[in-house]
Amino acid sequence: MGVVLLILAACRDPAVDETAADSPGDSDSAHDSRPDSPPDTGEADPDLYSVCPLGGEFLSIQDAVHGTEGDVTFLLCNQQYFENVVIDARSITLRSRAAGDTTFLDGQRRGSVITVIGASDGSTTLTLDGVSLMNGEPSAVDAPGVRVDVDRSWFYDNEGDVIVAGSAAVAGSHFHDNLGFAVRAPSVSLDGVELLGPGLSADALVATTSLWVGDGAFTTGELTAENVTLIGDGAVAASGQVSNAIVVGATPADAVEYRYTDAYGGSVALGEGSFSADPLFAETSTYTLTPSSPCVDAGEGTDDDGTPRDLGWAPI
């Protein structure tokens, strides 16, 4: 249902169906007192600028890049931005007033949605908070050598590798209907990520409480993963450790150690507390478990309710 709503929202006319908070008649200052604005400290934040096609300090993200200096944050309204943004040697945050299913950056298949040229000293950071990046060709984010931090964001319908970066930390976000790897970077961390489709290319990956569905779901060097669910026919990692996990159909290298993991339908060397059995998923959209699943109470540690940890990314 979330994907359907997302697609419907993406197709709406940006000039209509907009809340009063983002209407042309209202001030869209970064320093106003609306409920969805940053807390009012009584002082203007010189590094925060509002960007909205319907009326803000800047009407487009690229105009905001050209019209500001230094490391800044751009506050985006609940609209669709048809842009291919280029950022040169600056650290910039793009933050939505709401979340990734209402603020869209559409690359229109005319290039990457966001291109970041990193500073030579490696200090450049791109931060995405609550935005959707779509129709990038080849990438949603093309930022080699740049640190990319992502929270509460959606990535879909991008033609190539979605995020290309020097390092990437992704939390609470969704990838679906993309043709390339979700992330290509030497170092990647994932926390609370839903990834549907091709997975990751990384030399080092740390993943917690995340879901991957798709062939080749992992392609990585050293892997550390806990409380994850992997559904797909592909190599998981060259080496590392997986714990409290459900792995269905994967054929990883023997160097990966599996602790307290249900490895079903693939060729996984079972480690301490591990077994191979049908996980008995309740459904195959978010891969929650039925109460009779062998993965319930089969993990190491405890859940919030004090019972033994359920395996996978979605304990019941």
Which single residue is written with the structure tokens 């450790």? 241
For 170, the token pair is: 């992704």
Give the model's pLDDT for residue 251: 63
Q: Which amino acid is at 10?
A: A
pLDDT, mean of residues 94-114: 89
Q: Which amino acid is at 29?
A: S
Q: Which of 24-28, 140-144, 179-183, 262-266 holds the top average pLDDT? A: 140-144
Q: Cα–Cα distance between 156 and 249 in angstroms, integer? A: 25
Least reliable range by pLDDT among 30-39, 259-268, 275-284, 299-308: 30-39
Residue 16 has pLDDT above 80, yes or no: no
Q: Give the model confidence (pLDDT) of 223-280 as tens digits.
A: 899 999 988 876 667 788 999 999 988 766 667 888 999 999 877 778 899 999 999 9
Give the model's pLDDT for residue 252: 60
pLDDT tier for residue 214 given thresholds of 50, 70 and 90: confident
β partners of residue 195: 175, 212
Residue 174 has pLDDT above 70, yes or no: yes
Give the model's pLDDT for residue 38: 41
Least reliable range by pLDDT among 148-162, 219-233, 281-295: 219-233
| The three-state (H, E, C) secondary structure of the chain, written as one string | CHHHHHHHHHCCCCCCCCCHHHCCCCCCCCCCCCCCCCCCCCCCCCCEEEECCCCCCECCHHHHHHHCCCCEEEEECCCEEECCEEEECCCEEEEECCCCCCCEEECCCCCCCEEEECCCCCCCEEEEECCEEECCCCCCEEEEEEEEEEECCEEECCCCCCEEEEEEEEECCEEECCCCCCEECCEEEEECCEEECCCEEEEEEEEECCEEECCCCCEEEEEEEECCEEECCCCCCCEEEEEEEEEECCCCCCCEEEEEEEEECCCCCECCCCECCCCCECCCCCCCECCCCCCCCCCCCECCCCCECCCCCCCC
Residue 22 has pLDDT above 50, yes or no: no
Give the model's pLDDT for residue 254: 60
Contact 253, 272 (CB under 8 A): no
pLDDT tier for residue 34 given thresholds of 50, 70 and 90: very low
Residue 304 has pLDDT above 90, yes or no: no
For residue 14, is the peptide bond before it cis, meaning its omega torsion is within 30 degrees of 0? no
β partners of residue 105: 81, 133
Backbone φ, ψ for residue 61 (5° rounding)? -65, -40
Q: Cα–Cα distance between 85 and 62 in angstroms, integer? A: 6
Q: Cα–Cα distance between 278 and 230 in angstroms, integer? A: 13
For 39, the token pair is: 């807390």
Q: Give the model confidence (pLDDT) of 112-147 as tens digits.
A: 999 999 998 889 999 999 999 999 999 999 999 999
Give the model's pLDDT for residue 267: 72
Give the model's pLDDT for residue 95: 96
